[in-house]
Amino acid sequence: MDIKQISVFLENKPGTLNDMTRVLTEHNVDLRALSLAETTDFGIARFIVGDVLDTVNILKEAGYVSSLTPVVVAEVEDEPGALNKVLQVFTDHSINVEYMYAMLGSREGKAYMIFRVQDSMKATGALLTNGIRILDQESLSEL
């Protein structure tokens, strides 16, 4: 039960991120979450959308190189210590977090964290066992 994250490789120069988001805007793609990492020569835009396959095709037609990565999206209480609870579950199950970022949502009192881990099935099982709700691709439309 994971969500597919789209990663797009972008040249690290002014305007390239704007150009990519313009393509998405022209096709009415709604970004649910976005993370940007960079090095000297290139950047990686990582994002979550509702319709992954359509978005990948849009990007491909526009000349962008992208890849899909499974990520785990956990719903946590929007309160101090909630993130630590999730991270403690990962620690207790020897699950390493490669990176993480937040996602917007509209459920009152809830926050959403996106985790890239090596074994998303193991992470999902550990979180569910500890009473932490996990989102799947279909549940994005509820937010």
Partners of 4 in the beta sheet? Answer: 70
- Asked if residue 143 belongs to a domain, the reply is no
Task: Give how many domains the chain has, as a whole number.
Answer: 2
Q: Does residue 118 share a domain with residue 63? A: no
Quick one: how far is CA 135 from the chain centroid? 11
Q: Does residue 112 share a domain with residue 59? A: no
Domain region containing 64? 3-69
Indicate the SS3 state at residue 43.
Answer: strand
Instruction: Say whether pLDDT at 137 is over 90.
Output: no
pTM strictly above 0.85: yes
Last residue of a domain, one of 69, 91, 117: 69
pLDDT score recorded for residue 40 = 76
Q: What is the mean pLDDT of the chain?
A: 92
Q: Does residue 75 share a domain with residue 65? A: no
Taking the CA atoms of 108, 79, 123 and 3 in sequence, report the sign of the dihedral they define.
positive
Q: Does residue 78 share a domain with residue 54? A: no
Q: Does residue 111 share a domain with residue 60? A: no
Q: Does residue 55 share a domain with residue 38? A: yes
Q: What average pLDDT does range 82-110 have in this prediction?
A: 92
Share of residues in the chain with pLDDT > 90 (%): 78
Are 70 and 120 in contact by the 8 Å Cβ rule? The answer is yes
Pairing of strands 110-117, 42-49: unpaired
pLDDT tens-digit series, residues 47-95: 999 899 999 999 999 999 999 999 999 999 999 999 999 999 999 999 9
Partners of 8 in the beta sheet? Answer: 45, 66
